[in-house]
Amino acid sequence: MNKSSVGRRYATALFNLLDDKSVDVVCDCLNTITQSLHTSLPFKQAIASPVFTFEEKKAILDDISDRTGAPPVLKLFFAQLLQKNRGNILPEISESFLDLVDEKKGLQHVCIISAKEMSSADQEQLQTDITTKLQQSVKLKFETNSSLIAGLQIRIGSHVFDNTVRGKLANMRTRLAKG
């Protein structure tokens, strides 16, 4: 089982334990922890290293929980996570938890990958077009990948719509190989 599926399971368990009032506070706490893991090497080492004891790791996460005003269930969740030596997947849990919150709000995540940077006008137009097509609110994430040559690749959940030159060349290559 890969990290993201394990993270999704933990996030789902946490999400199901919370009432609607606690969700936003837990989001803030998980965001704080994830940012700290990305920006603070000592914090990352403390959570991931077997040199630090369970109690030391728990004290660190409890302190962050207290500072953000997180509900007591989050402290219990962190304790369980640390007992299972899963502290290293906190970023995946956080990402999956935020996805679950957005899903409950009816917000669809869409990733747009283009060969070059898109103008803000183009981004707004895509936002409008995709919202209209899906008939629900969307949260767009824009990325660039010059290897696409030209065009767009749109990812909605597990569906990928590839209208790039690289994608068309790959399809052409496949069709020619098959004969």
Single out the residue in 54, 72, 103 at which a domain terminates: 103
Choose the final residue of a domain: 82, 103, 124.
103
Look at residues 67, 82, 103 and tell me which one is the last residue of a structural domain.
Answer: 103
For residue 90, the tally of other CB atoms under 10 A from its CB is 23
134 in Cβ contact with 163 (< 8 Å): no
Encode pLDDT of 99-136 as tens digits: 889 888 888 888 999 989 999 999 999 999 999 998 88
C-alpha dihedral sign at 162, 166, 170, 172: positive
Q: Which residues touch 101 (CB under 8 Å, ≥6 apart)?
A: 15, 23, 27
Domain count, the chain: 2
133 and 173 inside one domain: yes
User: Same domain, yes or no, for 64 and 81?
Assistant: yes
Tens digits of per-residue pLDDT, 130-168?
A: 999 988 888 889 999 988 888 899 998 778 889 888 888
Provide the whole-model pTM.
0.69
Residues 76 and 130 in one domain: no
Q: Which residue has the tokens 């899906």?
A: 134
